[in-house]
Structures are given as C-alpha cells and as structure tokens.
Amino acid sequence: MHDKSAVLILEAPWNIYEGDINRSSVEPFFQGLAKQSNDVEILHSRFYDVSSFRLAFAALSKHTYKNAIVYVAGHGDGQRVGGARIIDIMVECSLKSVAANITGVVLGSCFSAGTAKRSQAETINYMVQESNIAWVAAYNCAAYWHESTMIDLSIIRQMIRAGESDFQDRSDISEQLAMGIECFSPHFPVGSNGKSGNEKALISLKRGISFFSQPRGQGNRSRCVTDEVWHMWEGLQLEEQVEAEEA
C-alpha cells in the first residue's frame, strides 16, 4: 500500500473563454492543498471522451493509496461530465475502488446529480453498492465554476483526512461531509436552474448539492444523505448568543 493519500483529478476542457485551450483548470487550487500536507498527492489528467477517461483513470488508479478520492471536473448536462457519461464514470470508480482504496467521489460538474426531469441518484446509489466507495458528492444545478470549485476543495480537504473509522457509520460519514461545508452558507447561490431570461432562477447551496453515503459492513447500501448532512451542519455553527458575546 502507498503510504500517502491521493486526490485523483480527471478534468475535461472548460473552454471558458475564447482561446482557452486547456488553460482553465482546478488543479492549481488542489496543489495548494497538497503543499499543506506531506502525505497527500495530487494526480491530474485530462480527458475528452469515455475512452480517454478510462485510459487516464487506469493510469491514476494503479496504486493502492492510504485514502484516495476521485474528483471528476468538467461541464455537465445531467447525463455526462465532459465527454463521458456519469454511469460510465461511476462504473470505473466502482471497479477500481478496492484496488486503489477509493473512498469517495466528487462529480464536479453542472447537474451531475441529475436535473429536475432526470435524477442520477439511482445510478449513483447502484454503482456505489458493493464497492469501497463510502461517499459521493454531486450537483443538481448549473453550478458556478469558482464557487463550486471552492466547495469541492473544502469537501475533499476534509474527507482526505478522514480515517477508515469515519466510514463505519452513516452518521459519522454525514458529520465528516458537514465539516467539509461548514464554512459555507446554505443560502448563498451556488448556481442556477440552467435556464435563461425570465425562466432563470438561482439555486442555493442547500438545494444545489447532493450527498450519498454507504457505510462499511454487510447489508449497508448507498442512499442520499443530503438532509442528514445539513442537519449536522447546523450543529457545527456558532449560536447567535455566542457570537454576540464575542462581539
């Protein structure tokens, strides 16, 4: 087993502006995370379709890490991230989860948890079952690039520090995920409904992100735990009275 943990980043092109030829990237933010710790590696690769995703993922996941988190980043439409279908991404993560000790997956794209008309929750839950994956985070909105990247970074920063003992119980997983978002307001707009003009509506973080977990142990199955995570989030906030006293 590798003596370090690892964030395995698979990133599709963003093309945010004219001439953006693979320039925009989430990688620099995560390199900053790695510099805060001597036992976390950041491994990064681009992908353009499902074939290149599989090749890139095979290269990044060939070692067994102390704790590995997969971060798939790119534009999404509710069925795909970049040029790869969400179901194909989750299949690869599931198949390699034991060998690489993958404990979590972040699908960092618009509508990676699905749209109002077509949810990806059933697909995510099914693909996580009987794998080593203990948790998944995904978006159900057209997420803003910078804001969602900061959220992803915070979640991964928390979960890469989690130990195997934190994955034994569903409430412990929810608490760890809540700690990953404890510094964010549930009411700030993380994205929109993806529509334009008069039909456009902003989506809050509380409504725009979904969490799934599967604790260790025979018989445990993956399910959505978003409500539980936000309940844990409330317990991590300072009470108004305490804030007033400190002021």
pLDDT tens per residue across span 90-118 = 999 999 999 999 999 999 999 999 998 89
Higher pLDDT, 52 or 245: 52
pLDDT tens string 22-61 = 789 999 999 999 999 889 999 999 999 999 999 999 999 9
Q: What is the pLDDT of residue 243?
A: 55
| pTM for this predicted structure | 0.94
Q: How far is CA 83 from CA 52, 96, 118, 208, in A?
A: 9, 20, 18, 22
3 state SS of 37: coil
What is the architecture of the domain spanning 5-246? Answer: 3-Layer(aba) Sandwich (3.40)
pLDDT tens string 135-148 = 999 999 999 999 99
Q: Kindly state the helix (H) or strand (E) to which residue 239 belongs, with its residue range.
A: none
Residue 242: which residues within 8 A CB-CB, separation 6 or more?
A: none
Q: What is the pLDDT of residue 242?
A: 44
138 burial level (CB within 10 Å; 0-12, 13-18, 19+): buried
Residue 24: which residues within 8 A CB-CB, separation 6 or more?
A: 14, 15, 16, 17, 145
